[in-house]
Amino acid sequence: MLWNTQSYTGWGRALSAEGELARPERAAALAELYAHPAIGARRSYGDACLNSTGAAVDMTRLDRILSFDATTGLVEAEAGVPVGELARLFAPLGWMPTVMPGTGFATIGGCIAMDVHGKNHHVDGSFGNHVTAIKLMVAGKPKTITPKRNAALFKATVGGLGQTGIIASATLQMSRCEGEGMEVTEQRAENWEEHIALLSSSQAR
């Protein structure tokens, strides 16, 4: 595995880090890299991806769709797949990631590590609520964890900022959608109280 010393930033670009980065192209390479923290597309608002004191594994080249069930909407994807790519590929087939963050550039691994939310959080919860399985590198070997199997490790991994190990891939439960389009209805509120009342009474996801 080749390591390159690079300077990199988070999305805010307020701070930067300089350190060695590895960019594996095959999941098998993770067996040698499991002891290092993983980073994705670096689209977090904060600086969680910065590791100035050591090396890191850039997961963005591990970006393959491993399986998709058109009947159930279950998709398994490598950690480096951008969540927007799932929408691009599967919305025409009637499926969307249930939770979409504010940017489609965030990777699947990053969405799990940060347990991102979307505009439908009040109804559908956060990203981790729709992850059915994670393939996690533990001591150099892939270990499948689910909400019921190795449940404590699963809970620690979702929203765990990558501290439990490198996420190699994950299986997500997507939701049905009617197509690629979106219908928007605008409604003007006359004042703050009416605005809050409209939000409270809304049944929209």
Residues 46 and 84 in one domain: no
**What percentage of residues in the chain have a pLDDT greater than 70?**
99
Owning domain of residue 147: 65-176
Bridge partners of 93? none
- Those residues with Cβ within 8 angstroms of residue 188's Cβ, 6 or more apart along the chain or in another chain: none
**Neighbour-count burial for 79-96, b at 16+ CB within 10 Å, e otherwise:** bbbbbebbbeebbeeebb
Please state the domain count of the chain.
2
- Take residue 84 and report the two structure tokens written for it: 């927007």
User: Mean pLDDT across the stretch 91-119?
Assistant: 95
Residues 84 and 169 in one domain: yes
- Those residues with Cβ within 8 angstroms of residue 44's Cβ, 6 or more apart along the chain or in another chain: 10, 11, 106, 110, 114
62: left (phi over 0), alpha (psi -120 to 50) or beta: beta
The pTM score is 0.90
200 lies in a domain?
A: no
Residues 52 and 100 in one domain: no
What confidence tens digit (pLDDT) does each residue in 58-97 have?
Answer: 999 999 999 999 999 999 999 999 999 999 999 999 999 9
Residues 171 and 87 in one domain: yes
